[in-house]
């Protein structure tokens, strides 16, 4: 059985004080939730304090990116061992904002995925097509390429620990989400490509999330789909009440 998974990506938002306030408020509201993996991904600067604020709770810590080398002359970068030391369990990799604003390539994302596993960090691998690619009928080609490249060097035992987020770029931060049916279809394909790329049935255990303008109002449409196991939430995760409502919906509650 795949356990539902809800992650909040705070992007470049919140000072340390604001991040701790939001995490602390959220912790109380979702304390009774047992069957959902709930992950907060604050900016690097707030990881340590948020980690301490949620210690002993049912919330887990994730980072938003990492470098593929464990150390070295890479000014401004953060490595896997540094994230692990701060208590991170997860790390978002290949987010479309990294691919587009910072020109991250499929090859770099693949190196980061391998480096994360080597450091016992679990990747939340993001894939998704732009509006231009979608309009050109290239959605499947683009996502298949992104998925296969990212897992090219992995073996089947890694797949149950990998989380993939399908995030159509045109749906991120736009208020225009994909339909549940569309996201479900792509999620099934992602699992199929994962299985083909590494061999064996272990892709059945990979959690596939939907991301892109998820809100308390539309989460049911996604979580109700058989191939979708949860959501990667940006804007709505900044508010503890909105994010808690999404978590509770994923838990099957009110
Ligand atoms: P959004 O962002 O929920 O604000 O659309 C999602 C994401 O970028 O992960």
Question: What is the pLDDT at residue 29?
Answer: 96
Please report, rounded to a whole number, the percentage of residues in the chain having pLDDT higher than 70: 99
pLDDT, averaged across the chain: 96
Span 53-81, average pLDDT = 98
Question: What is the pLDDT at residue 203?
Answer: 92
Q: Which atom of ligand 1 is nearest to the CA of 211?
A: 6
Task: Extract the tokens encoding 156.
Answer: 């089947």
CA dihedral 106, 81, 41, 248 (to 10 degrees): 110
86-102 confidence digits (pLDDT tens): 999 999 999 999 999 99
Q: Which fold has domain 5-250?
A: TIM Barrel (3.20.20)
226 contact partners, CB below 8 Å, separation of at least 6:
184
Question: What is the pLDDT at residue 253?
Answer: 66
Span 113-142, average pLDDT = 97
pLDDT higher than threshold 90 for residue 204? yes
Cβ count within 10 A of residue 15: 11
Distance (angstroms) between ligand 1 centre and the Cα of 128 equals 12
Question: What is the pLDDT at residue 254?
Answer: 54
DSSP, collapsed to helix, strand or coil, labels residue 54 as helix
Question: What is the pLDDT at residue 175?
Answer: 94
Residues facing 38 on adjacent strands: 6, 59
Asked if residue 51 has its Cβ within 6 Å of ligand 1, the reply is: no
Q: Which of 42, 24, 33 is nearest to 4 (CA)?
A: 33
Going from N- to C-terminal start, the domains of the chain cover 5-250
Span 156-173, average pLDDT = 96
Q: Which of 6, 91, 234 to mutate to test the pocket of ligand 1 (most atoms within 8 A of CB)?
A: 234
Question: What is the pLDDT at residue 200?
Answer: 76
Cβ count within 10 A of residue 173: 12
Distance (angstroms) between ligand 1 centre and the Cα of 93 equals 14
pLDDT higher than threshold 70 for residue 140? yes
Q: Which atom of ligand 1 is nearest to the CA of 172?
A: 5
Distance (angstroms) between ligand 1 centre and the Cα of 160 equals 24
Measure the CA–CA gap between 138 and 145, rounded to whole angstroms. Answer: 11
């Amino acid at each position: 059985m795949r356990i539902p998974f809800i992650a909040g990506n705070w992007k470049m938002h919140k000072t340390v004080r604001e991040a701790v306030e939001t995490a602390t408020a959220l912790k109380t509201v979702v304390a009774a939730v047992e069957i959902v993996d709930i992950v907060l991904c604050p900016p690097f600067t707030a990881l340590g304090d948020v980690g301490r604020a949620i210690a002993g709770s049912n919330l887990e810590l994730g980072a938003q990116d990492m470098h593929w080398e464990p150390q070295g002359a890479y000014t401004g970068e953060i490595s896997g061992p540094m994230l692990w030391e701060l208590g991170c369990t997860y790390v978002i990799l290949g987010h479309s904002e990294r691919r587009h604003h910072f020109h991250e390539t499929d090859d770099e994302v693949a190196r980061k995925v391998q480096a994360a596993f080597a450091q016992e960090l679990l990747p939340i691998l993001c894939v998704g097509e732009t509006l231009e690619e979608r309009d050109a009928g290239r959605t499947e080609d683009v996502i298949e390429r992104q998925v296969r490249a990212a897992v090219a060097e992995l073996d089947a035992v890694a797949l149950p620990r990998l989380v993939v987020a399908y995030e159509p770029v045109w749906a991120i931060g736009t208020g225009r989400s994909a339909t549940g049916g569309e996201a479900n279809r792509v999620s099934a394909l992602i699992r199929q490509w994962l299985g083909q790329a590494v061999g064996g049935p272990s892709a059945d255990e990979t959690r596939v999330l939907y991301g892109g303008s998820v809100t308390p109002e539309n989460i049911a449409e996604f979580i109700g789909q058989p191939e979708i196991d949860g959501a990667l939430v940006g804007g709505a995760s900044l508010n503890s009440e909105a994010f808690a409502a999404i978590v509770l919906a994923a838990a099957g509650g009110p």
